[in-house]
C-alpha cells in the first residue's frame, strides 16, 4: 500500500480528498500546517475528520517559515509598490515545498491537496504533467505555476474530476462530516477581516507617505494617502475629480507619485516576468508560443515568450491586455497543460 501525505486545512475540500484517497487504497497521512498563531480550529477540524475516517494525523508548526516566506514577502512587495498574491508563495514554499520534504522524511511516495487541478501521465511529453481540472472557473492551476517541477511526479489531486463544490459537499454529508457545510475561505488567511491596508500599517510598512497624484503627462491633480492603498486599474477612492473617469496607471515608488489616466492608458501588449519557473520543460525557449493568464480570474491570452539575458522573460501578447499588475503571478498554458509561470515585474 502506497502512502500519501494529504494537506488538511480543516475544510471540506481536503476532508473529501481524504475520503477519496482512502477509498482508492492509499495509506493516508493527514497533515495540518500551522501557519499563523492561534489557528487551532483548523487543526482541530482536520483532526476530527481524520479520527472519523481512521487515518493518521500530524500537525507541523510552520509559522516561522510562513512568516518569512509569505507574510514578510507580502509586506515587502507592497513596500515596493507591487500587488502580491500570497497563495503563490504559500504553494511554492509550504504546500508543495515543506510538505513534500515532510513526506520524504517519513517515506511517503506522494503528497496530495484539495486543489482543483489534474496530474496525469502524458505520452506526448513523456512525463507527468499538471492540467486544468473540470471545475471551470474554480480551476486552481494558476496558483500552482511557480511550484518546483520535480514535485509533479509525486502529486495527487483527488478532486481533479469534480465540476462543482456541491458534489464535494454531498460526499462530506454522506460521511456525516461536520465540515460538510463549512463555508469557503475567501480572505487572505493571515488577514481574516480582509483589511490589508490596516494590516500593512500595523506592521509598520516603510516609506508609504502621502504624495502627489499626477496624470501621465506629469500634471499634479491632488494628493494620495500612501501608495500601498492603491492598485493598478483602480478607479474609485482616489479623491480626484475629473470630467472623464480616471484609473490608476502606475505607482511610481521613486517619486512617490500615484499616476492616473484614462482607461485606454491601462492597456499594454508587453510585460516582463521575473522568477520564471518552467514546469513542463527543462526551460523556456525563445519564441515559445503559449496562452498566458495574468490574474486568477482573467481569461487566457495568446502570447509569445522571449528569454532575456538576465533570465527574466519578455511576454508579447497578441492583443493588448488591461491593467497588468506588477507583483501578480502570470501562468502559461499549452492547450490545457500548465507550462509554468512567474511574477510580473
Region for residue 305 given its phi and psi (left: phi exceeds 0; alpha: psi -120 to 50; beta: otherwise):
beta
Q: Which of 50, 90, 145, 278 is catalytic?
A: 90
Q: For residue 216, what is its C-alpha cell? A: 501621465
Can you give the pLDDT at residue 206? 76
Active site residue 90: yes
Active site residue 87: no
Query: Is the Cβ–Cβ distance between 269 and 317 less than 8 Å?
Result: yes
Q: 110 in helix, strand or coil?
A: strand
pTM over 0.85: yes
DSSP notation for 301-343: EEEEEEE-TTS-EEEEEEEEEE---TTSEEEEEETTEEEEEEE
| CATH number for domain 3-181, candidates 3.90.1150.10, 3.30.300.180, 3.10.620.30, 3.40.50.620 | 3.40.50.620
Q: What angle do CA 154, 159, 127 make, to 5 degrees?
A: 35
Residues 6+ apart with CB under 8 A from 67: none
* Mean pLDDT per 10-residue section of the chain, whose length is 345 residues: 96 97 98 89 93 97 97 96 97 98 98 98 98 94 98 98 92 93 85 93 84 97 96 94 94 97 97 98 98 96 98 98 98 98 98
DSSP notation for 249-295: EEEETTTTEEEEE-GGGGEEEEEEEEEEEESSSSSPPTTEEEEEESS
List the domain boundaries for the chain: 3-181, 207-261, 266-344
Can you give the pLDDT at residue 241? 86
- Is 266-344 in the same CATH topology as 3-181? no
The CATH number of 266-344 is 2.40.30.10
Q: For residue 201, what is its C-alpha cell? A: 500599517
Q: For residue 268, what is its C-alpha cell? A: 499594454
Burial call 146-169: b when 16+ CB within 10 Å, e when fewer: bbebebbebbbbbbbebeeeeebb
Q: Determine how β-strand 155-156 pairs with β-strand 127-132.
A: unpaired
DSSP notation for 154-193: GEE-TTTT---HHHHHHHHHHTT-GGGGPPPP-S-TT-TT
Question: What is the CATH class of 207-261?
Answer: mainly beta
Amino acid at each position: 500500500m502506497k502512502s500519501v501525505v494529504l494537506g488538511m486545512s480543516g475544510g471540506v475540500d481536503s476532508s473529501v480528498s481524504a475520503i477519496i484517497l482512502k477509498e482508492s487504497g492509499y495509506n493516508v497521512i493527514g497533515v495540518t500546517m500551522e501557519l499563523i498563531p492561534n489557528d487551532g480550529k483548523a487543526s482541530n477540524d482536520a483532526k476530527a475528520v481524520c479520527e472519523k475516517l481512521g487515518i493518521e494525523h500530524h500537525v507541523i508548526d510552520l509559522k516561522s517559515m510562513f512568516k518569512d516566506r509569505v507574510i514578510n514577502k507580502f509586506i515587502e512587495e507592497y513596500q515596493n509598490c507591487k500587488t502580491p498574491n500570497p497563495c503563490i508563495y504559500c504553494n511554492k514554499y509550504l504546500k508543495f515545498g515543506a510538505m513534500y520534504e515532510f513526506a520524504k522524511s517519513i517515506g511517503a511516495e506522494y503528497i496530495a491537496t484539495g486543489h482543483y487541478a489534474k496530474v496525469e501521465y502524458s505520452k506526448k511529453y513523456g512525463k507527468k504533467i499538471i492540467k486544468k481540472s473540470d471545475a471551470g472557473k474554480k480551476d486552481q492551476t494558476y496558483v500552482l505555476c511557480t511550484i518546483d517541477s520535480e514535485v509533479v511526479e509525486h502529486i495527487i489531486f483527488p478532486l481533479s474530476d469534480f465540476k462543482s463544490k456541491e458534489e464535494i459537499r454531498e460526499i462530506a454529508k454522506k460521511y456525516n462530516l461536520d465540515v460538510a457545510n463549512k463555508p469557503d475561505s475567501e480572505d487572505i488567511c493571515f488577514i481574516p477581516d480582509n483589511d490589508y491596508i490596516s494590516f500593512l500599517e500595523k506592521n509598520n510598512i516603510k516609506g508609504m507617505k502621502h504624495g502627489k497624484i499626477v496624470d501621465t503627462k506629469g500634471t499634479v491633480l491632488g494628493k494620495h494617502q500612501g501608495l500601498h492603498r492603491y492598485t493598478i486599474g483602480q478607479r474609485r477612492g482616489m479623491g480626484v475629480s475629473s470630467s472623464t473617469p480616471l484609473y490608476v496607471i502606475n505607482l511610481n515608488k521613486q517619486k512617490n507619485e500615484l499616476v492616473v489616466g484614462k482607461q485606454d492608458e491601462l492597456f499594454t501588449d508587453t510585460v516582463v516576468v521575473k522568477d520564471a519557473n518552467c514546469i513542463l520543460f527543462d526551460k523556456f525557449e525563445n519564441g515559445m508560443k503559449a496562452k498566458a493568464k495574468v490574474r486568477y480570474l482573467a481569461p487566457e491570452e495568446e502570447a509569445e515568450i522571449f528569454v532575456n539575458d538576465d533570465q527574466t522573460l519578455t511576454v508579447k501578447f497578441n492583443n493588448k491586455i488591461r491593467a497588468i499588475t506588477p507583483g501578480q503571478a502570470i501562468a502559461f498554458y499549452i492547450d490545457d497543460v500548465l507550462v509554468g509561470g512567474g511574477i510580473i515585474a
